[in-house]
């Protein structure tokens, strides 16, 4: 049985695919009503004014529509993918910095992502999210401050209490499985 939170993540993927395949405005509206207010909140906590955060959140959601064909549910959850778009938008608009992307990985023939790999990755991301939520408040706040842009690299380096080892290892395992299956 697939648990309810993972079902929700799979539903986001279905909505994104409906946007990609049919320019489905209702599906996009569902994604918009869930993610746009969260992107806006994230940007405001990262220091944007409400006006700029609103503008950027609209841009992020427009990119979600325009780049829906690039999403791959076996490699990322929709929440991860939208975060990376929001982060890049914040860099462009607020920080005026350039952030080069790595080379594309030659994953082998680009078949449609398999349902098994997609389910595994979505479940692992859900588990990661729950592990983050269950962290002691102080540790969770440290991670939030890093992602909201309040900590420099040197400040992150000086923090010894980052509790990352246990919460993230499963996503790596899911990706390793996928990579070995592809190579």
Find tokens 């401050």 and name the residue.
145
- Which residue among 39, 56, 118, 120 contacts another protein (CB under 8 A)? 39
Question: Is residue 177 a contact residue for another protein (CB under 8 A)?
Answer: no
Binding mask 87-126 for another protein (x = CB under 8 A): xx-xx---x-xxxxxxxxx-------------------x-
**CA proximity to 10, closest of 74, 61, 66, 62:** 74
Quick check: 107 and 182 in contact, CB under 8 A? yes
- Which residue among 7, 114, 116, 176 contacts another protein (CB under 8 A)? 176
Candidates 10-18, 76-84, 111-119; binding stretch for another protein (CB under 8 A): 76-84
Question: Is residue 129 a contact residue for another protein (CB under 8 A)?
Answer: yes
Q: Write out the binding residues for another protein, residues 130-169 only, by CB under 8 A.
A: 132-133, 140, 143-144, 146-149, 151-154, 156-157, 162, 164, 167-168
What whole-number distance in Å separates Cα of residue 65 and Cα of residue 53?
Answer: 18
Please give the structure tokens belonging to residue 125.
Answer: 């991301």
What residues contact residue 11 under an 8 Å CB cut-off, 6+ apart?
none
What is the C-alpha radius of gyration for the chain, rounded to an integer number of angstroms?
Answer: 17
Closest CB to another protein among residues 17, 65:
65
Question: Is residue 52 a contact residue for another protein (CB under 8 A)?
Answer: no
Quick check: 87 and 57 in contact, CB under 8 A? no
Please give the structure tokens belonging to residue 6.
Answer: 């993972």
Closest CB to another protein among residues 104, 111:
104
The helix (H) or strand (E) run that includes residue 82 is helix 78-90
Question: Is residue 40 a contact residue for another protein (CB under 8 A)?
Answer: yes
Q: How far is the CB of 161 from another protein (least distance, A)?
A: 12
Q: How far is the CB of 134 from another protein (least distance, A)?
A: 11
């Amino acid at each position: 049985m697939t648990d309810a939170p993972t079902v929700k993540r799979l539903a986001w993927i279905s909505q994104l695919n409906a946007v990609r395949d049919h320019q489905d405005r209702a599906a996009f509206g569902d994604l918009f009503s869930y993610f746009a207010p969260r992107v806006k909140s994230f940007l405001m906590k990262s220091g944007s004014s409400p006006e700029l955060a609103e503008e950027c959140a609209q841009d992020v959601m427009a990119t979600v529509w325009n780049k829906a064909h690039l999403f791959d549910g076996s490699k990322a959850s929709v929440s991860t993918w939208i975060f990376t778009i929001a982060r890049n938008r914040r860099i462009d608009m607020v920080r005026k910095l350039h952030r080069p992307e790595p080379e594309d990985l030659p994953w082998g023939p680009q078949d449609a992502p398999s349902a098994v790999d997609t389910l595994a990755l979505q479940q692992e991301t859900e588990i990661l999210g729950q592990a983050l939520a269950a962290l002691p408040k102080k540790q969770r706040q440290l991670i939030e401050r890093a992602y909201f842009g309040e900590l420099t690299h040197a400040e992150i380096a000086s923090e010894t209490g980052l509790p990352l080892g246990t919460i993230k290892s499963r996503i790596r395992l899911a990706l390793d499985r996928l990579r070995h299956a592809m190579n």
